[in-house]
Amino acid sequence: MSAEAEHILKRLNQTRNVTNKRGKIIQKETRILPYRERAEREKEKTDLKGFLSQPPWAMKDVSQEGLASLKRRLNRLEDEAEEYYPPTDLSGQTKDALYKQCEQWKAEWMEGMPTHETMRRNPAGAVDMHMKWEKKNKDIIKKWKHGMRIVEPENEDKDYTNIERFRPSGLSPETLAASFMANAQIPGNFAMSSLAKANWPLGDPKVDTPLKHAERNEIAEEMITNGFVPVEQFEALKAEIKKMQEQISRKEVKTKGGRSWTEEQKQAARERLAKAREAKKQKLKL
């Protein structure tokens, strides 16, 4: 590693202010301003220089105290530019070494970083988890941010050094299923993933469902209501339907010859039942 790169890394490792026993700062932490903040400061410096360079007659209404305050502000901006701006004219070798170190720092602070889902849903323990992670990695994140601003000093992206860009997701890469946390403040809704939906069987269910049970009961009630079955036989009819439902659920339905129904026979029976219901509805309409 070149001496230039070692010097910059030494600066970046200074992540805290150092004070003496009386609390006076004897060594400042390293701070590199992002591009947008530097651009705003440069504009302010240009405006101040332009204002202060006006002829005396144009500034006759400005007090001496006001002029002195503007000059102090300009001097302060100049001093901070020397201290907080990234170094210029770095060699490619130095930038490569610095970028490699920044990648190592990023790998360190990403370890154990709470996921997007954990931060958003806030399950029990999420706050303490985040605070512990943040305390552990605060200095490394500072070094990474300032180092990346030196590597690309002209990068105008607002979120260039925003660590949220790299926060991991808790979604399963295979199914892309959203997380569901029953013990979270925002648990979410349990739902099928896109992969599960894509593989869900189409058509009618292959088992005897409660909906089919209800449909058969509705047919029986229609038969009673419309006089197809005497009222005194109603309970017997319901008992017979219930018995048939139980047999169907156990797959014990037999034909008159004693043989089990085939799938074709079951489908034909369902179609006849549907046609009968439709015919009754048409009759009621008439």
**Residue 192 and residue 198: Cα distance in Å, rounded?**
10
- Which is more confidently placed, 224 or 10? 10
Per the structure block, which two tokens stand in for 193?
């993933």
Task: Assess if residue 252 is contained within a domain.
Answer: yes
Provide the pLDDT confidence category of residue 225 given band limits of 50, 70 and 90: low
Q: From CA 106, how far away is CA 145, in angstroms rounded?
A: 9
Record the pTM.
0.63
Question: Is residue 56 included in any domain, yes or no?
Answer: no
Q: Does the structure show a pLDDT above 90 at 284?
A: no
Task: Retrieve residue 225's tokens.
Answer: 């209501």
Nearest to 113 by CA among 165, 50, 190: 165
At residue 141, what are phi and psi to the nearest 5 degrees? -65, -40
| pLDDT tier for residue 269 given thresholds of 50, 70 and 90 | confident
Query: What's the rounded mean pLDDT across residues 8-28?
Result: 90
Extract long-range pairs of 26-31: CB within 8 Å, 24+ residues apart: 28/83, 29/142, 30/146, 31/83, 31/84, 31/146
> How many domains does the structure of the chain reveal?
1
Say which amino acid occupies 234. Answer: F
pLDDT of residue 148: 96
Residue 278's pLDDT is 78
- Of 80, 94, 93, 82, the residue nearest 147 (C-alpha): 94
Answer whether residue 218 is part of any domain.
yes
Residue 205 lies in a domain: no
Q: Residue 250: inside a domain, yes or no?
A: yes
Residue 230 has pLDDT above 90, yes or no: no
Distance of CA 232 to the CA centre of its chain: 63
* pLDDT tier at 145, thresholds 50, 70, 90: very high
Kindly state whether residue 84 falls inside one of the protein's structural domains: no
CA distance 230 to 232: 5
Mean residue pLDDT of the chain comes to: 82
Instruction: Please give the residue range of the domain that contains residue 262.
Output: 210-285
Higher pLDDT, 205 or 282: 282
Please check whether residue 28 lies inside any domain of the structure: no
Phi and psi torsions of 37, nearest 5°: -65, -40
In the prediction, which pLDDT does 217 show?
65
Of the listed ranges 58-67, 142-151, 191-200, 274-283, the one predicted with least confidence: 191-200
pLDDT for 223 equals 61
CB atoms within 10 A of CB 70: 16
Nearest to 28 by CA among 38, 40, 18: 18
**Is residue 215 assigned to a domain?**
yes
Render pLDDT for 63-117 as a digit per residue (tens, 0 to 9).
Answer: 999 999 999 999 999 999 999 999 988 999 999 999 999 999 999 999 999 998 8
Least confident of 9-13, 68-72, 75-79, 206-210: 206-210
